[in-house]
């Protein structure tokens, strides 16, 4: 079976325990990372109503829930290829259109969205450079892309290695135990090691045409955010 199909099937299987595992494994700290990402994106856009917001790899809908607390009179779309994750999102989130699709082939028109977010999803897209191009195509001029992700850290400091110990050793054990699916959480550290570093992703965004790229890494560089604009 191809790698992308296997990844999506894995999310189908862990969907019922995904939210619990997420909150326990991040000690709720991910809520702060998500909030800061939304805040910085909205500061960049300069308004908080009448926006079209697309959350890609929306999973069980956590990012859409954050956007909905920040935005009034706006339209929300969540895209994910996992039926299992989408089923949970649909039960949790109102006033959002959910579509089963992949990031590298978005079923949306050119220049149709004000904001695109992808939280802890890009690493799971095998052909992620194609997804970045899709985000650029679908964003309106002046639109903003928000990425939250666990990035590969090729030169960890002593302090960073504490974060790496957590993501590479503790998290797979705890996640495997909560989800009763060791394989799914063993995949997590491997997917981080195989993914881009902060500098590499910044370069890729620049090459596609994104500008004003802001990035920041948190908590021993465990998680990073990127905010990037499509020029007006
Ligand atoms: C770690 S979860 C993140 C879910 C959610 N964004 C969150 O912040 O909790 C990763 C998600 O990426 C989705 N995914 C996997 N491959 C994808 C692809 N090719 N395109 C879009 N999403 C994908 C999975 O189905 C899963 O829901």
Q: Which sequence spans correspond to the domains of the chain?
A: 27-159+196-229
Q: What is the pLDDT of residue 179?
A: 84
Q: What is the pLDDT of residue 5?
A: 96
What's domain 27-159+196-229's architecture?
Answer: 3-Layer(aba) Sandwich (3.40)
- Asked if residue 106 has pLDDT above 80, the reply is yes
Say how many Å lie between the CA of residue 117 and the centre of ligand 1.
Answer: 11
pLDDT band at 170 (very low <50, low <70, confident <90, very high): confident
Query: Which phi and psi (to 5°) does residue 156 adopt?
Result: -70, 140
Q: What is the mean pLDDT of the chain?
A: 94
Q: What average pLDDT does this structure show over 151-155?
A: 91
Q: What is the pLDDT of residue 164?
A: 85
DSSP-derived secondary structure for the chain: --HHHHHHHHHHHHHHHHHHHHHHHHTTHHHHHHHHHHHHHHHHHT-SBS-EEEEET-TTSHHHHHHHHH-BS-EEEEEES-HHHHHHHHHH--S-EEEE--TTS--S-TT-EEEEEEES-GGG-TTHHHHHHHHHHHEEEEEEEEEEE--B-SS--HHHHHHHHIIIIIHHHHHHHHHT-HHHHHHHHHHHHTS-BHHHHHHHHHHHT-EEEEEEEETTTTEEEEEEE---
- Asked if residue 25 has pLDDT above 90, the reply is no
- Asked if residue 160 has pLDDT above 80, the reply is yes
Pick the residue whose CA is nearest to atom 1 on ligand 1.
Answer: 120
Pick the residue whose CA is nearest to atom 23 on ligand 1.
Answer: 57
Q: What is the pLDDT of residue 178?
A: 86
Q: What is the pLDDT of residue 176?
A: 87
Q: What average pLDDT does this structure show over 139-150?
A: 97
Q: What is the pLDDT of residue 92?
A: 96
Q: What is the pLDDT of residue 180?
A: 85
Say how many Å lie between the CA of residue 158 and the centre of ligand 1.
Answer: 31
135 C-beta closer than 6 A to ligand 1: no
188 C-beta closer than 6 A to ligand 1: no
- The token pair that represents 194 in the structure block: 């195989």
- Asked if residue 1 has pLDDT above 70, the reply is no
Give pLDDT tens digits for 28-84.
888 999 999 999 999 999 988 999 999 999 999 999 999 999 999 999 999 999 999
């Amino acid at each position: 079976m191809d790698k992308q199909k296997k990844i999506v099937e894995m999310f189908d299987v862990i969907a019922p325990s995904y939210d619990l595992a997420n909150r326990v494994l991040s000690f709720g700290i991910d809520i702060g990372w998500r909030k800061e990402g939304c805040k910085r994106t909205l500061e960049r856009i300069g308004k908080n109503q009448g926006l079209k917001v697309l959350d890609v790899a929306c999973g069980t809908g956590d990012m859409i829930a954050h956007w909905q607390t920040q935005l009034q009179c706006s339209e929300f779309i969540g895209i994910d290829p996992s039926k299992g994750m989408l089923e949970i999102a649909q039960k949790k989130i109102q006033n959002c259109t959910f579509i089963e699709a992949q990031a590298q082939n978005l079923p949306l028109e050119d220049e149709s969205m004000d904001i695109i977010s992808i939280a802890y999803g890009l690493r799971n897209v095998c052909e992620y450079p194609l997804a970045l191009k899709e985000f650029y195509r679908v964003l309106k001029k002046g639109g903003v892309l928000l990425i939250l992700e666990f990035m590969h850290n090729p030169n960890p400091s002593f302090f960073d290695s504490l974060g790496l110990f957590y993501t590479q050793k503790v998290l797979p054990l705890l996640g495997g135990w909560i989800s009763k699916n060791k394989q799914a959480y063993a995949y997590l550290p491997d997917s981080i090691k195989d993914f881009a570093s902060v500098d590499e992703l910044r370069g890729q965004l620049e090459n596609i045409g994104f500008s004003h790229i802001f990035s920041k890494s948190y908590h021993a560089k465990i998680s990073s955010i990127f905010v990037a604009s499509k020029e007006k």
